[in-house]
Amino acid sequence: GENVEQHPSTLSVQEGDSAVIKCTYSDSASNYFPWYKQELGKGPQLIIDIRSNVGEKKDQRIAVTLNKTAKHFSLHITETQPEDSAVYFCAANPKYSGAGSYQLTFGKGTKLSVIP
């Protein structure tokens, strides 16, 4: 089955600096890669996603890049703010089909701390 590795497990940055979180996946059939942010006491919230036919996607201060050949994808947060402090999860979807089930395999998460 799919295996998603996420690094680093913890990351501390100064406010205003950039943060980068990296993930690798094992199943070359995976074609959808979402990123979730989880704040304390809440469920994960989808913040950005990328599909296999795209190499990069941006949404204001966050961006995701995908290298299908190397089977890795990354989350980039620029101009970090204290409210960016949270746990971030990457995921890959290897099992989607038109009539089949839908399942995400998640990385273990990165705890991002933005220091004011």
Partner 1 sequence: KAGVTQTPRYLIKTRGQQVTLSCSPISGHRSVSWYQQTPGQGLQFLFEYFSETQRNKGNFPGRFSGRQFSNSRSEMNVSTLELGDSALYLCASHRGPGDNYGYTFGSGTRLTVV
Q: How far is CA 43 from CA 19, 75, 86, in A?
A: 22, 19, 11
Is there a contact between 62 and 77 (Cβ–Cβ < 8 Å)? yes
Is there a contact between 15 and 112 (Cβ–Cβ < 8 Å)? no
Binding partner 1 by CB under 8 A: which of 25, 36, 73, 88?
A: 36
Based on the shown chain and the rule CB under 8 A, indicate whether residue 101 belongs to the binding site for partner 1: yes
Binding partner 1 by CB under 8 A: which of 24, 25, 30, 34?
A: 34
Q: If you write DSSP's letter for every residue of 32-89 in order, what string do you get?
A: EEEEEEE-TTS--EEEEEEETT-SEEEETTEEEEEETTTTEEEEEE-S--GGG-EEEE
Binding partner 1 by CB under 8 A: which of 107, 110, 112, 114?
A: 107
Closest approach of partner 1 to the CB of residue 55, in Å: 18
Based on the shown chain and the rule CB under 8 A, indicate whether residue 3 belongs to the binding site for partner 1: no
Closest approach of partner 1 to the CB of residue 113, in Å: 17
Based on the shown chain and the rule CB under 8 A, indicate whether residue 94 belongs to the binding site for partner 1: no
Closest approach of partner 1 to the CB of residue 25, in Å: 15
Contacts with partner 1, residue ranges (CB under 8 A): 32, 34, 36, 41-46, 49, 51, 89, 91, 93, 95-109
